[in-house]
Every structure is written in structure tokens, then in C-alpha cells.
Structure 1
Amino acid sequence: MSLTEINFDGIVGPSHNYAGLSLGNIASASHKGDPSYPRAAALQGAAKMRGNLSRLGVQGFLLPLPRPNILLEDTLSLDGTEAPALRAAPWSASSMWTANAATVSPAPDTIDGKCHLTPANLVAMLHRAQEWPDTKRQLDIAFGNTDHFVVHGPVPPTFGDEGAANHGRFCEGHGSAGVELFVYGKTGGKFPARQHEQASRLVARKHGLDPAKCVFVEQNPAAIEAGAFHNDVVSVVNERVLFTHAEAFADQAGAYEAIREVFPALEVVEVPSASVSLEEAIRTYLFNAQLLTMPDGSMALIVPEECRESESVWSYCEAMMASNGPIREVIPVDVRQSMANGGGPACLRLRVACDPTTVDPRFLLDEAKADRIESVISETWPEQIDPADLGSDTLANSVVSARNSLLDALEIHELA
């Protein structure tokens, strides 16, 4: 069996809006109340998927969850007198950020030789805590081959779990056994630390990982305070490389030492604060990037266009590309609609190292399927949503119809 890393991008849903529901997400808060453009957002995401399909030869996707969430609306007893944030929660399209969909441990790392996935409970935020049942339902279909995959239930809500956005995997190659990195936060600051240490440890046990091949590291509280609500806002891992800001971890040197103890091949690319400040790294999402191994073995970094527009960030990127380091190419992409709501290229994807032939083929992209997806989006996704539109029957009917059209086009009727 040949394992490869597949990026499963979340298709941006037709209810994409800027309600500013995510405490600690500075971009989300700063655009609260702005009109959103779901059609443009979804087409930007589709273009990113096409680009990576052409680069890597394989690309997956996950579908928008059903919105508005009628069950949540009923649970909240919405009657028009509630706070706007409560009214907006059932409409959230935040499942598009599939880095939070689950934590994934590939078969070479697990005791039973299967790929394990645990959907994140996302309990820190109401608008995200509603996601996991529908996420699990989708994972059960896409990774339903029980000879190769195990899809677990979420960890108990006592422990907040935000999925792969706080998880990385070091390995010599995606098909070889690796070392898994779990990054957690601690509460007590201005913003909530969403990843609980015990959630990470529980996931590692559920996945049957070798305790000697797991590393648990605390995120820098100052980074959380600055707006790095997930670790993937300040660092990203690919194979032997850790691309990280100098202020990502509570004990930066200790983190490197702990990883090297079990993965001596670690290669750190650390961006000094003097080159790129923590605030500028978070504003541009330099580290919320896809670090990819290209077919020739080199590595490329897929970053938001905002990185190219920042003098300090782009100067660093140019110097990095000119060096003899492991990252040889930096490729900006336009995901501005997602960025305005607090998610960059890395937020939009869940990495699964597996044999593509073991995945339900309906969730794997090809050019014909990309054409179908873009056609449905162009024809049915709302062009614009204003916050005042949330809750209207007209918008609800439009959003439900648009999603159903996509399910029909992709013949994934089980999710209707």
C-alpha cells in the first residue's frame, strides 16, 4: 500500500458571513458586521484546491455542513429577542476550516496499523461546538473503509479539543512511521486557550500511539494573547521541518529539545521576531500556510497574498528562498474572504496520509469535479450576505438549496 499526504479542503459554505463569533480571533472580530461574499469565498477556495491538485496530483475536499442548524436554533429557543451572536451561531460556515475538523494519526504511527481520526469537539465556542456530529457523519463516509480507517467519537466536552490546528507530525516521509506533536494552551489570559492538554493526551491514547513517539508542548501564552488562537497561526510542520515563529512556544528551546530527543532529524526554520514581529506574523498568517513536499522532494510554502503585501514578511520570504534551506518556494494564493474571517490556507485543509484508493472517491478532486463544484457555486451561492440577513427565511431557503445542489452534483446524497 502506497501512502501519500492528501489535503482535504473545506468547501466554503453558502452561509459564509462575518458575525465576529470567535473570541481571540482578531481578524474575525475586526470584520464583524461587514458584508460577506460567499460566492467569491468559495471560488477562492476552489482555486486553491485546483492549484494544489496540479502541484501534487492529489487533492480532497469536505463539504459544507447543513446551515442554518435547525436543531441548534430550537435548542436556543430563538424568537428574535436574543443577542445577535446567538442568532448568528446556527448560520456559521466555520466548518470550512477543516484543520479543526479532526486530529489524524496515519497508519504507520498506530498500534493497529490503521489511520485514526478523532473529530474535534470545539467546545470553546458555541458556533463551532455544533459541528462535530455532522463532521463525524461526513468522516464516516469519506473514510468508511474500516480495513484502513477508524473514526472515533470526540473527546469529552470537559476537555476542549480543536483538532489538527494544534497537531503536527514529523517523519522522514509521509508513508513512514513518525513522531506526533501535540500543542496545548493554558487558561488565564485575555483570550481562551482552546486546546486542553488532556484532550491531546486522550486523542493520542485513543489512536494507539506509542507514548515514546508523542511530544506535548505548551503554546506561548503571549502568542494566544496576540491572536494566535491555534498553534497553526504561529508554526507549521512538514516531514522533518518545523517552520515556526521565535515566539510560538512557551519554552522555545525546550520544545526543540523535546522533539529532537525522539526525532533527531528535526530541521527548524525559525523566523526571528526582529525579522517578522509576532503581530505581523499573525496579521498576515505567514505560518497559517501549507508546507508541502513537491514531487521532486523540495518543499513549497503556500501563503496568503497578504504575505506578499507585507514588506517585512515578504523580505523574509525572499531571503529564505535565496538561502540553502529546506523551503525553496513561497507561493501566494488569494483567500481574502477566508482571511477576513480569521482563516488562512492552512485553516482550510485537513491533512490525511493514506492510500488514495482507500478513500471514498467522491471526496477526491479531479478537474471535472472541480468544474462541477465551481459551476454550482457560481450558480447558487449567495453573492453577498449582510449580518442583518441572518435569520431570514429567504436566505435560509437559498442556503439550503445551494448546498443541496452541490450534494446532487457530487452524488453524495447521504449528507442531504
Structure 2
Amino acid sequence: MFNKILIANRGEIALRVLRACKELGIRTVAVHSTADADAMHVRLADESVCIGPPKASESYLNIPQIVAACEITGAEAVHPGYGFLSENARFAEIVEAHGVKFIGPSAEHIRIMGDKIEAKRTAQRLGIPVVPGSDGAVETEADAVRMAEEIGYPVLIKASAGGGGRGMKVAKTPDDLLEAYNNARAESKAAFGDDAVYMEKLLITPRHIEVQVFGDGKGGAIHLGERDCSLQRRHQKVWEEANSPALNSEQREKIGAICAKAVADLGYAGAGTIEFLYENGEFYFIEMNTRLQVEHPITEAITRIDLVNEQIRVAAGVGLSVTQADIEFKGHAIECRINAENAATFAPSPGLITYYHPPGGLGVRVDSGVYQGYRIPPYYDSLIGKLIVHGRDRVECLMRLRRCLDEFVVDGIETTIPLFRKLIDNQDIANGMYDIHWLEHFLETKPFD
């Protein structure tokens, strides 16, 4: 096992990794920008290193500074968290070249799954169901016209190197196609420096279902069930559930077994999430994230397995602590992402937290790096915390969530807590009847008027 791990991230995920390390008896190194000198993970780490000014490109994305921090402190491994450099294959290669273990999959697997076209080809080869679409990049307007006719309208044009909805355009009819195609290429080029796009059949009312997998890097793998992440705004997840209200145990086991076998056949090491669109009883592969997900705590709640602990074990060569037969799904869990944003307009709201009181009680977990008197900087993602609630069933979970939202107080800034108070009162949410478009339609009704 490692003696010292450097955490190459910030905020709640840095604190989450730090806690797992401490429970394993592993010393921790926090890196931080000048804006994060007073962050909770910096205060609690055994050592800390300032790696640059507030701008992420000069600090949390500064690979030479992070490698230097490893060398200065003698860290044996790096945990990248999520975001920033967590899916940067070059970072993984550089870290390993300096004799430091990257806690995650191989650079090769990061690179394969980071290219959406290659990821889809790999998924098909491994037996994972995919959305009907192009086999590779759609390189010309003529190819786009031909492919759209073969697939059938409506179609979705997506950036090969994309994510978060950037470089993604819809063509509902032939008249829309060329404008959507060229706009997707231009947006992809601007966002990712790569204008390669591919095309898929557009599903009308799908749910977003993702399967948590773990590989030991030696041909063994498990799945830990699925999460439903369908409540989204502009392709960004807002509310997640485990297990999905849309699936039964037979469907869960079937898609989980497919994903675990694929990961085993790939020789994958560490945590991964295989994401699908789900419609009319069918799963269609979207992508694979080669890192820990923001919403991993709800999987931990229903399986009672510490996913960061498992990541560290696999990276250290110890192997997984559980087999597939050991995993039982107990109860229901929901996560609400609490952002420093106006709940109606989603405008960012950085600033000083003048009063902070998180909820507590049975089945309640709050993952957050903020505290009373902490000043939220304006330079980073607006996520300030995650409210995770677990119950014996979905009804109990929803009732507990309602109580927690009433207890949660964050003064001095605006947050998205009022949005979740509106959602918890909605009958569609109570019934689990929603798809990936539901939240945006709900927001169009101006619920805060």
C-alpha cells in the first residue's frame, strides 16, 4: 500500500479523497492555487504545496507544477479526482514516467475512451449496445447527407473530442442538417481544437443511465449497479438516483453483467462509468468516463462500498476487496448537486458564506469543502457540495430528502437549494417519471415566478 498520496484537485472531491486516505493510514499532500489557500482539504492534509495563481491553467492544470510537488514531497501516487487532469492521458503518462503511480486506468484506456468515435468502436467490439450511427467521423457535407438518410431523422451530430454538450447539434429534418453539421464542427474546433464529428440517431425521450464498473487490471471486473442521471440542464447533471426508478432487477443485472465483462475483456484497471441512453427497454452506449464520477456517493450508499478505497487498492496492486457475489443493493439513494448559483437563472454566486448549517441524521451525507466564513472563489466550477440521502426505499428516501432540504442553510450567497425544494414537490419526480428533457421543460414553466 502507498505511504503518501498527492491529491491533484480541489473542493469537495479533494476532501473526499483525503478522508479515504486517512482511513487507510496514508499520508496526504494537498496542492492548491493561491485562491484556495484556506480550503478545507488544504487545512486537513498532512502537507500542502501551492502550485500557482488562481487561473486553473496555471495551477490545477499545470502538469510540471504537480509533478514537482510530487518530487518535493515524496508522494508515491497521485489521485486526480474528477475534472481537471483526471482524464488526461498525457498527465497519466508523465506521472508514471516520473515514478509516481497514477490512481486510475492506463493512459491507453483513457485515450481510447476520450475519443468518442474510438470509444464507440471499442464498445461495439466488447459487446456493449450502441446507438445506430456513423462508424467513424463524418468528414464532408455529402457524407453527412448520406449518413442522415441511412440513420433516419432526427439525428444528433456530436464532437468526437467533446463533452458537456459542446459540439453537439440536432438536425430534425434535411433542411436543418448542413447548418447543424457545420456548426457542430466549428464549435468542436473552438472548444477542443478538433473539428471531427460523428452522427447518431436522436432518441426522443430517453433516460440517462450509467453503470459503475471496476476493473482490477488483471482481467477481473465487477459492476456496482446503475445510476439514473436523467435530470439535467444543458447536459449537466443536477439530480441523480441509485438505483434507477425505470429499471427492474433483471434489467439491472443484464446490463451490469455486459459492462463488467467488457471491462474485464479490456483489461481495465480502476473505476469507470459506462453511460447509456435508455429508451423503450433498450440501452444505447454514449461514452465511458475513466474516472470517479461526481455522483459516486449514491452507489456507495446502496452498496456500502468505498469507491475511493477500491481505487487506491487497485492502483497499489492489492486488488478489489469484493467480488460480484459480495455486492448487494440495499435501499435507494438520491444526490442533489448544490451549486453556488441563482436557482432561477443559474447565474454564478461566488462570495463569503456568512452562515452554514448542513442537514444531518440517519441516512444523510453531505460532501462539501465549504464552511462558515469560507469565501467561494469565482475561478472554478460552481459546485459547493452534494447532499446524499439514503432510505430503505424510494419513498422513504424522498421524504428524508425533503426534510434535509428544509434544514440546509447556506447564507451569504445564492444556491440551487430552492430548485430542489421545487422538484421534491413535483408529482412526476415523486413517480420517477422523467427523461433527459424533463428538467429543461420544467424550467421553461418559470417555477420561481
TM-score (normalised: structure 1)? 0.27
- Of Structure 1 and Structure 2, which has the larger fraction of its residues in helix? 1
Higher relative contact order by CA 8 Å / sep ≥ 6: 1 or 2? 1
TM-score (normalised: structure 2)? 0.26
